[in-house]
Amino acid sequence: MSELVFDKLNVWFGDDWDRVDAVKEASFTVPSGASFGLVGESGSGKSTILRALVGLVPTWSGVMKVDGETLGKKRPRAFFRDVQMVFQDPYASLHPRHSVDQVLSETLKLHGFKDVDDRIGKLLADVGLGPEFRFRYPHQLSGGQRQRVAVARALAPEPSVLLLDEPTSALDVSVQAEVLNLLADLRENQHLTYLMVSHNLAVVAHMCERVAVMQNGEIVEVMGVEEMRSMSPAHDYTKHLLEASMGYKPAE
Amino acid sequence: MSKLLDIENLTVTFPTRSGEFDAVRGVSFTLGQERLGIVGESGSGKSMTGRAILRLIRPPGRISADRLELNGRDILAMSEKEMQSVRGQKISMVMQDPKFSLNPVMRIGEQIIEIYRFHTKASKKAAYDKAIEMLEAVSIRDPERVMRAYPHEMSGGMGQRIMIAMMLVTEPEILIADEPTSALDVSVQTSVLTIIDKLVKERGMGLIFISHDLNLVASFCDRVLIMYAGRIVETCKADKLHEATHPYTRGLLNSLPRIDTPQDRLQALVRDPTWAQAASVSGRQ
C-alpha cells in the first residue's frame, strides 16, 4: 500500500536560454489503493511527471513522496521494486530478441527472487496468458499479448504502485477493452495504486476515480470522475477537451 | 448522385510461405460526392483497400477486381504513365503520419510547388501563389515562413495540415484519408476535420475516410463500411452506426469505454469464425 504525494513539482529540460519548463508547480496526492488519471494534449507534461517520479529525469525540484518517504536524488533500493511502469508501445518496450521467459526471469533475478520458475508461471496466469506463451518472442505475439507481457514484467517485483503511460493507445478498441479489464482486476486483487496517463478521456473516466487535467505543464484542474461524467468541469480547457472527445461537431 | 468510383469484387492477394493470403476479399462499393467512412481493426484490410484504388500495392502483391472504375474508366487497364496523372491529380491520399510522408530534406514550399507543376505545368510564380493560397486554406498562419521551412520544424498538427494542403493543391476529385487524425491531439483533430469537411462541401469532392475510431466516423461521415478480415461485414448510414446490427460492429461499439455512463467491466469482443467466412456485403449504391 502506497500513497503518492507531489508538492510543487517542477521539471525542466536544458538550461539558461533553451530552458523548457515541462512541469510547473504540480501538486496532487494519490491515496493508497486509488487510481488517478493525468490527461492533457501532447507536450502538456503528463508523461514527464511519471518519468520524474521513477528517476528518468534528473532535473526537478519540489517534493515527491512515496508512502510517506520523500524522494531524494538517489532512490532507495526498495523504491525500484515498489514502483513499476508500463509503457505506451508494447512493440518498442520489449526486447525483440528476448523471449517472454528471459524478460520475466531477468527482472525476477535482479530483484533477488529464488523461485523464478514458479513465479513466471504464476505471472503469466495473472495476466491471462497460458504457459504456451512462455518461450515465445515478441514478434510471435499480438499487440494485446505483448502489452500483457509488459504488465507481467511490471508485476514481477511485486510492486504496490503501477505507473501506466498510455497503456492502450497503441491497441485496437476490442483489445483495449481486454487490457483495461485486466488492469482493473489486477488492481482489485493485488491492491495496487495506479497513476495513469492518457489522452483518451473515456479510458481515464473508466479506470480512475480522480483526474488531473494538464495544459502547458500546469495542472489546470483536479476533478472527480462524476464531475467529468456530468460534463460539468470548472475550467474552460477541460470543457474543450471533453467536447472534442465526443466526436466531430461541424462548426456553425 | 454521380459515381466517382465504382468497385466490384476487389481482391488484394499476397503470396506467403504458407500459401496465398487475401488481405482484401471481394470488396464492392461505390463512392459519390459524399464522405464514406471505412472502419475496422488493424489488419482488417481497410488501408489496403485505399492503396489498391491507387494501384499502390507492390509486387509480389496482386490486385484483381471485376470492376475498378474511376469516372467510368478502368483503373486496372491504365498504363503506369496514365496512373501518374491519376495519382495526385484525380485521387489524392493523405497518410497517417506526416513524419513519414514529407520529404525531410526538401523545403515545404518546394514540395508543394513540385506536385502542382507536375500536374498542371503552371509557371513558378503561379505555383507559388497557389501553394500560399492552399496553406492559408488549411489555416496555417504565416504561410510564407512555412514555405521556407523544413518538415522537422513543424509540429504534428501543422505537418498533417501541410500534407492535406499538398494533396489538395491539384484539386482532386477524390481524397483518400488514411487515419488522417489519429496521430493528432483532439483539438487539432477538430480543426483538420473542419478543413476536410469544408473542401468536400465546397468542391463536391468524394472522400474515403479510413479510421479505427468509431465515434469519429459516426459523427463525421455520411455512410460507413465496416470491415473485418478483408471483407465488408456491414454498411450503414453513419448516424445510424450506433444502431448497427452485425455482432462484430456491436462488439466493437460495446468495447468502447464511455464517459457518460459508468460500466463495471468493458465487454470484450468474442470473435465468431463464421464472420471471416461470410461473403462480403456490397457497399454499392
pLDDT tens-digit map of B230-273: 899 999 998 888 888 899 999 888 888 888 777 778 888 778 88
Q: How far is CA B245 from the centre of its chain?
A: 25
Range of the domain at A114: 4-245
Eight-class DSSP state of B185: -
Positive or negative, the CA dihedral A228, A233, A235, A239 is positive
Residue range A98-142, pLDDT digits in tens:
999 999 999 999 998 989 999 999 999 988 888 889 999 998 888
Is A65 part of a structural domain of the chain?
yes
Tell me how many residue pairs between chain A and chain B have CB atoms under 8 A apart: 92
Give the H or E element holding residue A227.
Answer: helix A225-229
Contact B87, B54 (CB under 8 A): yes
Residue type, B50: G
- In a domain, residue A95? The reply is yes
Q: Which of the pair, B263 or A45, is modelled with greater confidence?
A: A45
Restricting to A residues 129-188, those with a Cβ less than 8 Å away from any Cβ of B are 143, 172-174, 176-178, 180-181, 184
pLDDT, tens only, A134-186: 999 998 888 889 999 999 999 999 999 999 998 888 788 888 898 899 999 99
Tell whether A251 is covered by a domain: no
Minimum CA–CA partner of A184 in chain B: B265
Is the peptide bond preceding residue B60 cis, with omega within 30 degrees of 0? yes
Torsion angles phi and psi, residue A191, rounded to 5: 50, 55
Per-residue pLDDT, A250 = 65
Is residue A33, in this structure, part of any structural domain at all?
Answer: yes
Q: Measuring CA to CA, which residue among B131, B135, B55, B120 is closest to residue B93?
A: B55
Name residues whose C-beta falls within 8 Å of residue B52's C-beta, 6 or more positions apart in sequence.
B10, B12, B24, B63, B65, B68
Beta strands A218-224 and A210-215, pairing class:
antiparallel
The enclosing domain of A218 has a CATH number of: 3.40.50.300
Q: Is residue A105 part of a domain?
A: yes
3-state secondary structure of B88: coil
Q: What is the pTM of this model?
A: 0.84
- The candidate with the shortest Cα–Cα distance to B139, out of B219, B90, B197, B215, is B197
Average pLDDT over residues B157-167: 86
Strands (E), B196-241: 206-211, 223-228, 231-237
Domains in chain B, ordered, with CATH? 1-77+206-285 (3.40.50.300)
- What distance in Å separates residue B106's CA from the closest CA in chain A? 26
Q: Which residue of B has its CA nearest to A203?
A: B257
Interface of A with B in 23-52 (CB under 8 A): 41-42
Which of A126-130, A247-251, B272-276 has the largest mean confidence? A126-130
Task: Tell me how many domains chain A contains.
Answer: 1
| A250 occurs within a structural domain | no
In 10 A of CB B71, how many CB atoms? 12
**C-alpha cell, B36:** 464514406
Is A90 domain-assigned?
yes
Q: Does B189 touch chain A (CB under 8 A)?
A: yes
